[in-house]
Amino acid sequence: MERQAKIVATLGPSTDDRIILKQLILAGMDVARLNFSHGSFDEHKKRIELIREISSEVNKPVTILQDLQGPKLRVGMLPSEGFLLSKDQLVALQPVEDSEELLDAHSSLQILPVAVPNLARAVKNGSRILMDDGNLELEVIEVKNSTVITKVVLGGRISSYKGVNLPGIDLKIPGFTEKDRGDLEFGLQNGVDAIAVSFVNNANDVIEVKDAISKICVDRIPPPVIAKLERPQAIENLDEILDAADGVMVARGDLGVETSPSTVPIIQKKIIDAAYHKAKLVITATQMLDSMINNPRPTRAEASDVANAILDGTDAVMLSGETAIGKYPLETVKMMDSIVKEAEANYQRWGYQGRNRRESTEFDAVALTRAAGELAAERNVRFIAVLTRSGKTAHLMSKIHPSVPILAFTPELTTYRSLSLYWGVIPYMVPHATTIEDMLALVEEAIIATTTIKSGEQIIFVSYLPIGEMLPPNFLLLHKIKGF
């Protein structure tokens, strides 16, 4: 049974070995995520080159997803052992550039340098400050110039560069940083296939990144942009973000800290449903098989979490630390593959079907791809074949979640590499064609060479006319295979 939902795996020290990375690709990794919160340009460049090399060797396209850091709020550098913060202890938070001065001014306080712009102006007495994914909580009791005096509510050990969250507080800082701009230029120059934008608040955060991409990608089709939903503001502005982005990521780590763990499951369902009705890609991420960082098997709750994301209708599921720094990256991908397949086998019975009651959009292209999906369900059809130059037609077709595989044919190398991101899509690289007859001949030849299709069986062909131009799909054909 072919798996339809895609697996995104984050690369890191645990995957830098060539043999391990090849095993991950063969085990089912469809998308390789490069986390630009960590690593140097040299490290990322080596990973990109290795992915391309192995992908070509095993003849399996792998999409490279560049994940921009965004305005990440972090603790500064601390001693190697970190600090142990105890309940009711007083802690002075100070901008990293001023923390040395604070040692003399408040010697009785624990000093904690933080990289949080505008912190002293944004908080007030009673404000909550969370650290290390919410494992530590501080309460503001006084603000003195650039120093924020806090009391420890929930203690624990804090170490260098742990994340900082301020639930309900708007720091009024740009979502697209100068670091992101430099990272984006590097990524595009080295051929990444998709971009994830962190800490998106509204549509403008997405549009700004797309504008930057358009200035760099003058001679290539721009990659899809995925908005990571990590803040309450993003949920409030979900519709406009979906309109601006090509897809979204349910980033449950920061989202759970910024809201609360109890609300995350419902927010996840809301996002997946909204993405369906806007015909946008959705990736479910964070702590899916987290215990496999240190253990060869997941907890039963984690297995249920992955399965329920599939039953909710997610297009892809993502592994983070499990593959980047975990002890069992290969076992994790294999386990994810197994859980997803089992959930998909039971989707018709247990999956969310409520979305079928209303149309997702009013666009002709969506109506055409929906018609193709319905025709595939009613007729004896082996595959849906789509012709796409930008990847958009394959993307729209994938959102229908049809009952048969989607074979996506493209003459564009950049598009070919990005297609592994989409649910149920199998990418094919084909030459340019100028007529529908030539295109059908190329499609038929490729299908006969790579599948078990027989003469007389049918496929649905979704395309655009005239062939060769970059247009939305406007053409649907029920085609009988005649080759052999």
Closest CA to 291 of 304, 302, 276: 302
213 within 8 A of 245, measured Cβ to Cβ: no
Pick the closest to residue 120 from 147, 97, 91 (CA basis): 147
Q: Return the pLDDT at 387.
A: 94
Q: What pLDDT sits at residue 362?
A: 52
Among 3, 6, 33, 278, the active-site one is 33
Q: What is the pLDDT along the chain (484 residues), one digit of tens a residue?
A: 689 999 999 999 999 999 999 999 999 999 999 999 989 999 999 999 999 999 999 999 999 999 999 988 999 999 989 999 999 999 999 998 765 544 444 457 899 999 999 999 999 999 999 999 889 999 999 999 999 999 999 999 999 989 899 998 888 888 899 999 999 999 999 999 999 999 999 999 999 999 999 999 888 899 999 999 999 999 999 999 999 999 999 999 889 988 888 999 999 999 999 999 999 999 999 999 999 999 999 999 999 999 999 999 999 999 999 999 999 999 999 999 999 999 999 988 888 765 554 445 557 888 899 999 999 989 889 999 999 999 999 999 999 999 999 999 999 999 999 999 999 999 999 999 888 889 999 999 999 999 999 988 999 999 888 887 778 888 899 999 986 5
**63-67 and 74-75 as β-strands: parallel, antiparallel, unpaired?**
unpaired
Contacts of 155 (CB under 8 A, 6+ apart): 84, 85, 86, 87, 89, 136
Catalytic residue among 74, 370, 382, 392: 74
* Residue 340 · residue 310 · CB < 8 Å: yes
The token pair at 145 is 């110039």
Instruction: Give domain 74-165's CATH superfamily.
Output: PK beta-barrel domain-like (2.40.33.10)
**Backbone region of residue 310 per phi and psi (left: phi > 0; alpha: psi in -120 to 50; beta: other values):** alpha
Q: Tokens 């994301």 correspond to what residue?
A: 309
Reported CATH class of domain 6-70+175-351: alpha beta
Q: Where in the chain is the domain with CATH 2.40.33.10?
A: 74-165
* SS3 state at 6: strand
Domain with CATH 3.20.20.60 in the chain: 6-70+175-351
Residues 454/380, Cβ–Cβ less than 8 Å: no
Distance between CA 442 and CA 433 in Å, rounded? 8
**Which residue spans of the chain are classified as CATH 3.40.1380.20?**
359-480
Residue 408 backbone dihedrals phi, psi, to 5 degrees: -105, 120
Distance between CA 381 and CA 219 in Å, rounded? 38
Measure the CA–CA gap between 222 and 217, rounded to whole angstroms.
6
Catalytic residue check, 228? yes
Let me know if 286 is a catalytic residue.
Answer: yes
Could you give the residue ranges of the DSSP H alpha helices within 219-320? 232-236, 238-244, 252-258, 264-277, 300-312
Phi, psi of 33 (to 5 degrees): -95, 130
Looking at the DSSP assignment, which residues form a beta bridge with residue 263?
Answer: none
Rg for the chain, CA atoms, rounded: 24
| pLDDT of res. 483 | 64
Peptide bond into 466 cis (omega under 30): yes
> Mapping DSSP to helix (H, G, I), strand (E, B) and coil, where does residue 194 land?
strand
Instruction: State the Cα–Cα distance between residues 228 and 386, nearest whole angstrom.
Output: 28
Catalytic residue (choose from 286, 314, 332, 393):
286
- In whole angstroms, what separates CA 169 from the centre of its chain? 25
Sheet with 147-154, edge to edge strand ranges: 74-75, 110-115, 90-95, 147-154, 136-144, 128-131, 164-165
- Residue 279 is given by DSSP the state T
- Residue closest to 184 by CA, chosen among 223, 228, 220, 219: 223
Helix axes 203-216, 178-189, angle to 10 degrees: 40
Cα separation, 328 vs 109, whole angstroms: 42
Kindly name the residue from 6, 228, 231, 392 that is annotated as catalytic.
228
Q: Quote the pLDDT of residue 484.
A: 55
To the query of whether residue 33 is one of the catalytic residues in this protein, the response is yes
What pLDDT sits at residue 360? 52
CATH number for 359-480: choose from 3.20.10.10, 3.30.565.10, 3.50.30.50, 3.40.1380.20.
3.40.1380.20
